[in-house]
Structure 1
């Protein structure tokens, strides 16, 4: 029998080690996702914790400009969140790439983003096994020097991942340590290669995914990359034109930058999700997490002091991902090592 949204929040809060002497802060947007707010409050209360709802008028970024951030609500929001032990982000777009997230976790607070439909949250919930697999992937990235990605369509992309301070994102879907952020559900590992080091060619094929547009690629698209930035987009179908139009709309060279890169590790995640569900009801985390997908992104990179509202995540099927010549993904399948 499927669990209710509140029951799933209770189980997730237990994974996040919420205790009765803590206060849970819920960051939300006025009139949006009220059922998630109610479930988070109810779950906190069931575990004996306090609950504080922090409603802002709007914190989400649009998919197209014009956009100008209004920072007037940020300072009081951060002040209130700073009094909480565990912060739940149920905003529409998420605070993933914002200064708000960085400052909350930088003060040692645990922070969890929640966006997917209830049955996805339950079906893809993380566990200790997934965590160990994600951490092992992070160890491989941390010990490597060069990330190399190819596919049968002609993709050939490299990036410098050397250095002991390489920023790595480990996502297994829950937060049980101070200063940790995660997204429920999740199952992937990614790094932010040294800025402006990505070089080569990305070739998208039909069936790859474009997020947050929540749709599959329909045509072959060739993307040339030099010094970490997209320099050209070509293809005979609609997708190349749409991508060019999207990037051009921002009138901002930063939107062409490559950001994080990594691969999915969650065997329960299904690539078919965009067709099984109403795609616009999804945040796209299932596609990001599917085992063996290679995902790269554009735009925002807080480690390179680059902030832009324009941000695409592009999970791809059928790629081979190598670290210093050793495959971690081969032809879209995880490599056991």
Structure 2
């Protein structure tokens, strides 16, 4: 029998090692996702922890300009969150690329973003086996020098991932260590290649995904990349036009940059989610996490001091991902050890 949202929060908080001596902070937007706020508070109390709800008027970014950040609520928000041991982000758009997230985790606090429907949260909950697979992928990235992605459709992209300080994102869906951020649910590993080193071509095929638009690609799009930036978007169908229009709308060269790259590791995640659910009820994490997908993104990259609210994640099927010539994904399937 499916669990209630509160029951799933209780199980998640156990994974996050929430104890009775801790305070759980919940960051939310006024009038939005109140059922998540209530469930998080109830779960914290069931475990004997205290709960503090921090409501801001609005923290989500629009999908199109004009946009100008209003930072007046950030300072008091950070001050209150700083008194909590773990912070749960249930804002609509998430604080993933914001200074708020960086400063909370930078002070050693655990931070968890929650956005998906209840049954997705339950079905894709993380575990130790997933964590080990994600950490193993991160170790391969850390030991590598060149990331090379190809596909039968024509994708041929390389990026420099050398260096001991390569930023790597490990997402297995829970936070049980100080200073850790994650997104429940999750199951992928990604890195931020050395800035301006991505070179080559990306060919999107029908059925690939565009997030946060929460839909599948409808026709073939060819994207030319030089020195880490998209130089040209080619295609006769609607998607090429829409992508060009979106990037041009911001009138900002930073939105054309490539950001993180990685692959999915969650076998329970299904590519069909955008058709099974109302796609606007989803944050897209299931598509990001499907085992063997190659995912790349655009725009924001805090490691390159690139701040922009324009950010797309693009999971792709049927790609081969190699690190220094050794495949970790072949034709969209994970390569076993």
**Smaller-chain TM-score range?**
over 0.9
Deviations 1:80-134 (A, max 9, x none): 0000000000000000000100000000000000000000000000000000000
Q: C-alpha distance in 1, partners of 2:47/2:195?
A: 43
Secondary structure at 2:67 match in 1 = coil
The equivalent of 2:199 in structure 1 is 199
Q: How many angstroms does 1:51 deviate by?
A: 0.3
Q: C-alpha distance in 2, partners of 1:125/1:72?
A: 35
Q: How many angstroms does 1:22 deviate by?
A: 0.2
The equivalent of 1:92 in structure 2 is 92
The equivalent of 1:44 in structure 2 is 44
State how 1:212-291 maps to structure 2 within 5 Å.
Answer: 212-291=212-291
Secondary structure at 1:68 match in 2 = coil
Q: C-alpha distance in 2, partners of 1:269/1:210?
A: 16
State how 1:36-115 maps to structure 2 within 5 Å.
Answer: 36-115=36-115
Deviations 1:161-195 (A, max 9, x none): 00010000000000000000000000000000000
The equivalent of 2:9 in structure 1 is 9
Q: How many angstroms does 1:233 deviate by?
A: 0.1
Q: C-alpha distance in 1, partners of 2:307/2:293?
A: 26
Query: Which runs of at least 4 in structure 1 moved beyond 2 Å after TM superposition?
Result: none
Alpha-carbon RMSD across the aligned residues, in angstroms, is 0.3
Q: Which runs of 5+ in 1 are unaligned?
A: none
Q: C-alpha distance in 2, partners of 1:42/1:62?
A: 31
Q: What TM-score, normalized to structure 2?
A: 1.00
Q: What TM-score, normalized to structure 1?
A: 1.00
Q: C-alpha distance in 2, partners of 1:267/1:87?
A: 28
Q: How many angstroms does 1:280 deviate by?
A: 0.3
Deviations 1:12-54 (A, max 9, x none): 0000000000000000000000000000000000000010000
The equivalent of 2:140 in structure 1 is 140
Q: Number of paired residues?
A: 337
The equivalent of 1:335 in structure 2 is 335
Q: Is the aligned partner of 1:31 residue 2:28?
A: no
Q: Which runs of 5+ in 2 are unaligned?
A: none
Deviations 1:234-291 (A, max 9, x none): 0010000000000000000000000000000000000000000000000000000000
Q: C-alpha distance in 2, partners of 1:193/1:174?
A: 24
